[in-house]
Amino acid sequence: MELTDVAPVEKWEELEKKLHQNSGLNACVYNDQGARITKYVAWGNELCPIIKGHPQGVANICAVANQNMTSQAREAGEPVVDECEAGFVKFAVPIAKNGEFLGTVGGCGHVYPDVEVETFYIHKSIGHDQEELDKLAARVPRTSPEEIQKQIELVQKELAEILSSS
């Protein structure tokens, strides 16, 4: 079974939009292999489009974190919260139907108050100007563990509705 067997891509995109509008985070629905299933993009900060604009940024930062969190969510069967290599908080809520893991819904792109964006790592990964990265990092939105938990609960509620109507 695939996510599109449960709901059309447009329904998954609506969930992404709702999560982004509610939180400001990058919001994504991923299949069981950790690949995005929609084309919706709304950035949570100004650094993410720069990182994603470089194949090495995607490979070294985004893909590593996403594959790791997809695996953890699959194994745990419950939401996972961590940070990517750039220091952005990231969460993944598993999507399962009849005990079968189908993918995750996640958000990322903000930082906890006591965390600094890893601009040196970003610079080394993509070769982008360190000074510009530092300036953009200063504007990355801050969030709290409580706010992330609130977003996880929103996603779980929305998932319950989607899964019960399929």
Give, for all 166 residues of the chain, the pLDDT tens digit: 999 999 999 999 999 999 999 999 999 999 998 889 999 999 999 999 999 999 999 999 998 898 899 999 999 999 999 999 999 999 999 999 999 999 999 999 999 999 999 999 999 999 999 999 999 999 999 999 999 999 999 999 999 999 998 7
**Gap between the Cα atoms of 154 and 166, Å rounded:** 19
Sequence length of the chain is 166
CB of 105 closer than 8 Å to CB of 39: no
- pLDDT at position 166 is 75
